[in-house]
A and B are shown apart, each in its own frame.
Chain A
Amino acid sequence: MSLRFNSISIKNFGPYQLVDDLSLDTTPSSPVILIFGENTFGKTSLFKALRWCLYESPELNLSKSAALRSLGDYLNRPARLSGDRDMEVRIEFTYEGERYDLSRKCQFDDEMKPTVVADLRVGSKVVSSHSIEAEIGRILHPQISEFFLFDGELLGDFYDKLESDRARELLTENIERVLGIPALQRAKQDVHGLSESAFLQYSKAVTNEMAAKEAGVEYQKLKSNKESKEKDKIEAEASLNTARTSLAEVSELLFSAGDLIADARELETTEATYSRLRREEADLVAEMSSIASQGWLAIVSPLLAARLLEIEAENDAANTVQDSLREARNRAELLKRHLSGGECPTCSQKLPPPQRNTRDQLREIEEKIRVLEESSGSGPNLQTERSLRDLIDLDSAALYREKQRALDILTTSIFTAKQRIETLSGRLQGHSEIQIRDLAKQKGIFEGNVRRFEARITIIDGEIATILSKQKKLFKKLRKEEGVPSVLTAKRDFFAYVDDVLGATIDRYKDKTREEVEATASSMFLSLIHDPESYKGIRIAHDYRLTLENAAGEETNTSEGGRLLVALALIGALKKAAVRGGPVVLDSPMGRLDKGHRENLLRDWVPTLGSQVILLVQSGEMTDEDLDESLAGQVSRMYNIVRPSSNHEIAEIVGVS
């Protein structure tokens, strides 16, 4: 049996305070487990709990130190607040018929410093803590797990990874590991060693002393030279690994330092802004003080303004009366002239004779004049109005109000700037610019070292290949020597042949596997997309450079969704070709796919993933229709991630019948 998860138990990891023995058992005919959970409910936390338990790190490609530092983020917050600072994940699984029980516990002290302890039992046997990592790596190597335990959100990154040479090299190594190439390579190394021994035995037995001596000396020389080169290679590989590890650590520190550099720059700018704002504030306060002292009456201006408004209204009314009076008097004068046979006061024309009612009109208007004269009083009080206008300092008041508004804005800006300065200062505490510069310098050195060791290994590989070729020529030269016991000849020929056949097998197997992965990935991709007629398929070069070809066989680009499908097709193809399979755990693999692609994925892709597939999905990712049609009969178990209360920091996993 290959690796198969039986159950998982979780304590205080992410939102899970207690998940007790959640069964992950599946049957060959129903290999799928569905775990439903809405966004933010804890699907990814469950995925990370699994990864942490297996590989010490909740996230892929996180160094051990970074993973340890990140653990505090995973401790359940309500538990932490109640003083429970123990976090644990336990996985029970079966591998090759043996029952494994792996648990990882983390205890945090008062300062939240984590201490992690792992425990692995195989049946009743306890595995030494030093051997746990190697044992898990043997069962499902962390690099291989990248293909089988993956976060759907990172699928886009998976595709992007193939753009860089270094990442592709790593991927190629991983793919070859998945396919079992290193096992064949180790087998070839061992056979070559046996072949060398057989040849030396043979050469010693050659009766032609001269030929034997020459061949023996030459072969020994080549052998020793090869051993020396292999030793150099091992040393160079060790140095390369050290340089890569150091580079990864420095890069990680610099990544954080990158934030610090940005913080330092922002702090500088914010402090300058703060000083400028404080100066502007002082200037404003001074100006306002001056306005207040020079225009002190501005303080009572509202009262005076109110009185002025009253006077203005009274004067307006008096003016209206005066206007009416003037008009009435003019009318009375006209009527009088009319009666006396005089001329028009405006145009000096002789007026026509009065009408019968002219005298009545004159009486009416004289009455109106009397009423208006009575109501007009002393007329508009223009003197008071002028005095009040003089007293009210409207300009100072407006200016003061304007300055007050500016000061309010300034005070808010000063408060915000001060807060930002405190935050940035806190973040920068304990870091200096010199330290950051040193890190950048170190990174350059390690990058140089990595390049140097890589080049050295390439040269050594070439040298070893040359030695092997010389050994082969020597072997051929001595082949026909007479008088050697047949058994030694048989051994020599047997191992030389197996050595060569293994070498040819590795080369062809790599090529064939790549071709098969290419064909399977292409076929899967075409079955997943809506418009298969638009594409010829996926092409995988010898260095695993991935390209998508259109119907005419030309390289083409694809959308974000298309890139996800390419990544899924490649993962499916690798899984199909893989040596040591295991469960496939997918966190939100269909989150970014539309209904049609989702159906294709569930119907054509999921069944190719093997005998245990755990899908962490949200409701939008899978409908009842998908369940009934695309996954009909394939689901062993279903669970729901639920929140038992309104507290969003606590979740539970419950079975769905």
Chain B
Amino acid sequence: MSLSDDDSAENSRAGALSVMSEVARSAELTVEHPVSRCFSDDDYESIIDLAWRCQFDDDRATFRQGLLDLETYLEPRILALEARGDE
């Protein structure tokens, strides 16, 4: 979900998302955090969307709740990863 349909906001949000996807693929993070394998592009987009939607207006409680919801959503994948003993 995007904060607004303003072109510049969209550019900036997309820019931040593109950077997050890029750093998430870096060896430094993937080696240190095997859990990164459970994240898809949509999940990074959700994090950026949450930040854009809530943090500009300082709505930190909504942001934290959104992130907890994302963790709950990803938990089965992370547990499955752990169960496979990949970690």
The chain A residues found within 8 Å of chain B, CB to CB, are 1-2, 96, 138, 179-180, 182-184, 186-187, 190-191, 193-194, 486-487, 489-491, 493-498, 500-502, 504-505, 508-509, 512-513, 516, 575-581, 610-611
Instruction: Give, as a whole number of angstroms, the nearest-CB distance from A311 to chain B.
Output: 101
B12's partner among A138, A180, A190 (CB-CB below 8 A) is A180
Indicate if the CB atoms of A491 and B71 lie closer than 8 Å.
yes
Closest-by-CB residue of A relative to B83 is A486
Indicate if the CB atoms of B60 and A186 lie closer than 8 Å.
yes
Instruction: Give, as a whole number of angstroms, the nearest-CB distance from B9 to chain A.
Output: 5
Instruction: Give, as a whole number of angstroms, the nearest-CB distance from B48 to chain A.
Output: 8
Instruction: Give, as a whole number of angstroms, the nearest-CB distance from A139 to chain B.
Output: 10
Tell me the B13-47 residues at the A interface (CB within 8 Å): 13, 15-16, 19-20, 22-24, 26, 28-29, 32-36, 39, 44, 47
Instruction: Give, as a whole number of angstroms, the nearest-CB distance from B45 to chain A.
Output: 13
Indicate if the CB atoms of B52 and A180 lie closer than 8 Å.
yes
Indicate if the CB atoms of A579 and B60 lie closer than 8 Å.
no
| A513 / chain B contacts, CB cutoff of 8 Å | 15
Bound-state Cα–Cα, A581 to B10, Å:
10
Bound-state Cα–Cα, A613 to B36, Å:
44
| A194 / chain B contacts, CB cutoff of 8 Å | 64, 67-68
Closest-by-CB residue of A relative to B52 is A183
Indicate if the CB atoms of A187 and B7 lie closer than 8 Å.
no
Instruction: Give, as a whole number of angstroms, the nearest-CB distance from B27 to chain A.
Output: 12
Closest-by-CB residue of B relative to A516 is B15
Q: Show 12 residue pairs from A and B whose CB-CB distance is below 8 angstroms, ordered by the A residue.
A: A194-B64, A493-B78, A497-B39, A498-B47, A500-B33, A501-B29, A504-B28, A504-B29, A577-B11, A579-B8, A579-B12, A579-B56
Bound-state Cα–Cα, A597 to B54, Å:
42
| B32 / chain A contacts, CB cutoff of 8 Å | 500
Closest-by-CB residue of A relative to B55 is A183
Tell me the B35-87 residues at the A interface (CB within 8 Å): 35-36, 39, 44, 47, 50-52, 55-58, 60, 63-64, 67-68, 71, 74-75, 78-79, 82-83, 87
Indicate if the CB atoms of B55 and A184 lie closer than 8 Å.
yes
Interface size of B in residues (CB-CB distance below 8 Å): 47
The chain B residues found within 8 Å of chain A, CB to CB, are 4-9, 11-13, 15-16, 19-20, 22-24, 26, 28-29, 32-36, 39, 44, 47, 50-52, 55-58, 60, 63-64, 67-68, 71, 74-75, 78-79, 82-83, 87
A2's partner among B9, B15, B63, B71 (CB-CB below 8 A) is B9
| A580 / chain B contacts, CB cutoff of 8 Å | 4, 6, 8-9, 56
| B60 / chain A contacts, CB cutoff of 8 Å | 186, 190
| A611 / chain B contacts, CB cutoff of 8 Å | 7
Given A194-B67, A493-B35, A494-B74; A505-B16 close (CB under 8 Å): yes
| A182 / chain B contacts, CB cutoff of 8 Å | 55
Indicate if the CB atoms of A579 and B9 lie closer than 8 Å.
yes
Bound-state Cα–Cα, A101 to B68, Å:
38
Instruction: Give, as a whole number of angstroms, the nearest-CB distance from B3 to chain A.
Output: 8
Closest-by-CB residue of A relative to B50 is A187
| B55 / chain A contacts, CB cutoff of 8 Å | 182-184, 186-187
| A509 / chain B contacts, CB cutoff of 8 Å | 15-16, 19
Given A486-B79, A490-B78, A500-B33; A183-B8 close (CB under 8 Å): no
Instruction: Give, as a whole number of angstroms, the nearest-CB distance from A191 to chain B.
Output: 6
Task: Knowing that A2-B9, A497-B29, A579-B56 touch, tell me 13 more A-B residue pairs with CB under 8 angstroms.
Answer: A180-B16, A186-B60, A186-B63, A194-B64, A490-B75, A491-B71, A493-B35, A497-B33, A509-B19, A577-B15, A579-B12, A580-B9, A580-B56
| A578 / chain B contacts, CB cutoff of 8 Å | 8-9, 12
Indicate if the CB atoms of A184 and B51 lie closer than 8 Å.
yes
Bound-state Cα–Cα, A1 to B23, Å:
30
Given A96-B4, A194-B64; A183-B78 close (CB under 8 Å): no
Indicate if the CB atoms of B12 and A501 lie closer than 8 Å.
no
Bound-state Cα–Cα, A1 to B39, Å:
31
Indicate if the CB atoms of A579 and B13 lie closer than 8 Å.
yes
Closest-by-CB residue of A relative to B39 is A497
Indicate if the CB atoms of A1 and B5 lie closer than 8 Å.
yes
Indicate if the CB atoms of B8 and A2 lie closer than 8 Å.
yes
| B71 / chain A contacts, CB cutoff of 8 Å | 490-491, 494-495
Bound-state Cα–Cα, A19 to B27, Å:
62
| A186 / chain B contacts, CB cutoff of 8 Å | 51, 55, 58, 60, 63
| B44 / chain A contacts, CB cutoff of 8 Å | 501
Bound-state Cα–Cα, A509 to B57, Å:
20
Closest-by-CB residue of B relative to A183 is B55
Closest-by-CB residue of B relative to A581 is B8
Given A183-B51, A508-B23; A581-B7 close (CB under 8 Å): yes
Given A183-B56, A487-B75; A494-B35 close (CB under 8 Å): yes
Instruction: Give, as a whole number of angstroms, the nearest-CB distance from A363 to chain B.
Output: 124
| A190 / chain B contacts, CB cutoff of 8 Å | 60, 63-64, 67
Bound-state Cα–Cα, A524 to B17, Å:
25
Indicate if the CB atoms of B50 and A179 lie closer than 8 Å.
no
Indicate if the CB atoms of A180 and B56 lie closer than 8 Å.
yes
Indicate if the CB atoms of A501 and B20 lie closer than 8 Å.
yes
Bound-state Cα–Cα, A508 to B15, Å:
11
| A505 / chain B contacts, CB cutoff of 8 Å | 16, 19-20, 23
Closest-by-CB residue of A relative to B78 is A490
A490's partner among B16, B22, B29, B79 (CB-CB below 8 A) is B79
Indicate if the CB atoms of A496 and B33 lie closer than 8 Å.
yes
Bound-state Cα–Cα, A194 to B28, Å:
22
Of all A-B residue pairs in the complex, the 8 with the closest CB atoms, nearest first, are A2-B6, A581-B8, A183-B55, A187-B51, A490-B78, A504-B23, A497-B33, A579-B12
B15's partner among A493, A497, A500, A512 (CB-CB below 8 A) is A512
Indicate if the CB atoms of A581 and B75 lie closer than 8 Å.
no
Bound-state Cα–Cα, A194 to B71, Å:
11
Bound-state Cα–Cα, A512 to B28, Å:
18
Bound-state Cα–Cα, A496 to B71, Å:
11
Indicate if the CB atoms of A138 and B57 lie closer than 8 Å.
yes
| A2 / chain B contacts, CB cutoff of 8 Å | 4, 6, 8-9
